[in-house]
């Protein structure tokens, strides 16, 4: 006589199998989420390195006999889809930097100094749109100083001209950083000005050069308009350091609130 399973044994076996499958699905789901989160973190860290490396390079060549113009602004936007609108800082910078700059359109045209805009692109800051912060783009617009040569990304005026005409220079700079010219679009299909995508709040602070204490300005509880440093100011009045605070998002929105980082650049006197 052949022996079979009793009903109780079958029920127990099915229950155990269900428990194993249940635990396996939980473990599998956890592994998948961990993998996606790790990928999102890796993407964000790559963005952080790209931004900080470029800032380090630019400010290593910062011309302190030139201009450094900072515009600070709070903008009412949604952080992510269906979130409640809130204020986010969108600080922008204008400065002159030395380095090895090459024209995007004509490789034979080079310059050792350029005017640089750093900040969000015009589309991100468009008040008529309801763009969410996690989809903002960071732009870097470089205009080579090439006396006598005029191209799309080349300025025929000399660096000496800008130093000798502070009113003209500051007007051009303020028009750029205050309003962000509509032509500064960081279109992924035209990457000349695209520095990084999915960059949310950007806060730029500086040290007070009039004190030996480490104090970051502006006060985060205020809404400042910014700060201007010019060739006429003594070098000791220029900031000792700049502190950049970024909120970066991954492209798939896996890390919903993004990650915030701080990067400090010390400026030589």
Q: 186 falls in which pLDDT band (50, 70, 90)?
A: low
Q: What pLDDT does 182 receive?
A: 67
Tally Cβ neighbours within 10 Å of residue 244: 20
**Which pTM does this prediction carry?**
0.84
Around 32, how many Cα atoms within 13 Å sit in the side-chain half-sphere? 6
Which range, of 83-92, 106-115, 218-227, averages the lowest pLDDT? Answer: 218-227
Spans of all domains in the chain: 9-266
Tens digits of residue pLDDT in 208-262? 766 566 678 776 556 567 888 988 888 888 888 999 999 999 999 999 899 999 9
Which range, of 57-71, 119-133, 241-255, averages the lowest pLDDT? Answer: 119-133
What is the rounded distance in angstroms from the CA atom of residue 216 to the CA atom of residue 208?
7
Q: What pLDDT does 157 receive?
A: 94
């Amino acid at each position: 006589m052949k022996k079979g399973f009793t009903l109780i044994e079958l029920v127990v076996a099915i229950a155990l199998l269900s428990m194993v499958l249940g635990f396996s699905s939980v473990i599998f789901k956890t592994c998948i989420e961990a993998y996606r989160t790790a990928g999102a973190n890796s993407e964000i860290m790559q963005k952080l390195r790209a931004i900080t490396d470029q800032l380090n390079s630019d400010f290593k060549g910062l011309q302190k006999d030139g201009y450094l113009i900072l515009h600070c602004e709070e903008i009412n936007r949604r952080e992510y889809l269906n979130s409640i609108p809130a204020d986010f800082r969108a600080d922008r910078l204008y400065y002159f930097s030395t380095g090895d700059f090459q024209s995007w359109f004509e490789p034979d045209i080079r310059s050792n100094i350029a005017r640089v805009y750093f900040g969000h692109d015009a589309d991100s800051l468009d008040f008529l749109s309801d763009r969410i912060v996690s989809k903002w783009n960071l732009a870097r617009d470089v205009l080579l100083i090439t006396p006598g040569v005029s191209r799309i990304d080349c300025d025929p005026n000399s660096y000496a001209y800008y130093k000798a005409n502070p009113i003209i220079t500051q007007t051009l700079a303020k028009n750029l950083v205050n309003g962000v010219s509509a032509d500064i679009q960081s279109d992924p299909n035209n990457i000349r000005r695209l520095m990084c995508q999915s960059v949310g709040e950007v806060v730029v602070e500086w040290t007070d050069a009039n004190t030996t204490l480490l104090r970051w300005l502006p006060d985060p509880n205020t809404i400042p308009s910014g700060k201007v440093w010019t060739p006429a100011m003594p070098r000791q009045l220029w900031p000792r350091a700049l502190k950049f605070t970024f909120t970066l998002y991954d492209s798939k929105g896996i890390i919903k609130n993004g990650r915030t980082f701080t990067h400090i650049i010390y400026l030589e006197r």
